Amino acid sequence: MASTSDAGDVEESRTRLCEEFAGAAGTDSGVAQCYLAENDWNMERALNSFFEADMEKVFEEEWISEHEAPTKNQKVEEKAPATRIDLTVDSPGSSHQPSKEDDGGSGLTMITWNVDGLDTENLAERARGLCSYLALYTPDVVFLQELIPPYVQYLIKRAVSYTIIQAGSEDGYFTGMMLKKTRVKLLESQIVAYPTTQMMRNLLVAQVTLRDVKVCLMTSHLESCKGQSGERMKQLREVMRRMREAPDDVNVLFAGDTNLRDSEVAAVGLPPAVCDVWEHLGRQEHCRYTWDTRANSNKSVPYVSRCRFDRVFLRPAGRPRAPRLAPDHMALVGLEKLDCGRFTSDHWGIYCSFAAAADDSHT
């Protein structure tokens, strides 16, 4: 039987936890006590549970407000928006003209973006910002990192013209892919675990076809932080191994938030057939830095950091006569602030297009 002193210590400890939770979550002690009790008084789990529930509420309220019926005092000038938005429709007045036609050939367009779902500030507006870019560019494939479950549910409601696959479901954050239904046929997908990751990182792989072009798509969020260089390079080696060993009639495209430094890539080395798309296209300075605290103010940090964390690697098909992809354009997206005064993410996104042609060099 616990002593009165022990019981007092527990009560004091739990009172302190409630106060810390309330301060961190901006709520009252009653709510704090409920979440802490449900999570065995584990602060980290309780806060994660609170913020996940809070974001589901934010997205739900944002969704309802977009589609609620007008009041009797509001003038109805057009039909209320549908609860689903087809992102393959061209954006009016767009000055960008990537391949938007479903019958426009067997090339491929893509966007890769760490959407920073862990930052809950203005998250609904920032998710809507992502959808605006998808409507503008209508890429065939979208690689996303740092997704959370409410963000995915939002995309499922909005992006009905895409098949969405993800490397996680309920816990933490994860990566995902979006495949345009009219262009990309999904054959199979798998999640490959990194055995020694400390950050729940993995590799999401999808086998697809675009008309007669076979493509293996891969995305990942490699281990973060400078001190995790060794683990990050191990993960890169696994990515490169899979790119190198893929069947020679398949094009292999990897894109994601790699957190890589140039010295780490040099230490691992790229297989002869694999190219870094940014380097292949001439190392254009305007799309070098995808993490740039000098230009992107989403994170308040007391230093300037400019890094090429987000990268795209391609290994074209090597079999004679097999259609092979070749890079032809790269640009950064997300450079404009949203109405809320913040950017879509603390990372810039990367848009790439690839041409496809049969390889006749071996004949």
How far apart are alpha carbons 103 and 80 in whole angstroms? 31
Q: Are 303 and 293 in contact (CB under 8 A)?
A: yes
CA dihedral sign, ordered 320, 143, 350, 221:
negative
Q: DSSP for 95-161?
A: S------TTS-S-EEEEEEE--TT--TTHHHHHHHHHHHHHHH--SEEEEEEE-HHHHHHHHHHBTT
> Shortest CA distance to 330 belongs to which of 307, 347, 313, 305?
313
Q: How would you list the strands of the sheet with 174-180, edge to edge?
A: 162-166, 174-180, 141-147, 108-114, 349-358, 323-333
* Residue pointed to by tokens 């895409």: 162
How far apart are alpha carbons 53 and 45 in whole angstroms? 12
- The token pair that represents 234 in the structure block: 């191990």
> Shortest CA distance to 58 belongs to which of 103, 9, 139, 121?
121
> Shortest CA distance to 180 belongs to which of 212, 147, 246, 135?
135
Contacts within 8 Å (CB) and 24+ apart, 328-334: 328/107, 328/281, 328/353, 328/354, 328/355, 329/281, 329/353, 330/277, 330/278, 330/281, 330/284, 330/287, 331/287, 332/286, 332/287, 332/290, 333/111, 333/113, 333/133, 333/137, 334/113, 334/129, 334/133
Catalytic residue among 28, 171, 248, 257: 257
Find the length of the chain: 363
Pairing of strands 185-193, 275-276: unpaired
Tell me which H or E stretch contains 210.
strand 202-210
Catalytic site residue 257?
A: yes
> Shortest CA distance to 123 belongs to which of 52, 184, 69?
52
**Residues noted as catalytic:** 257
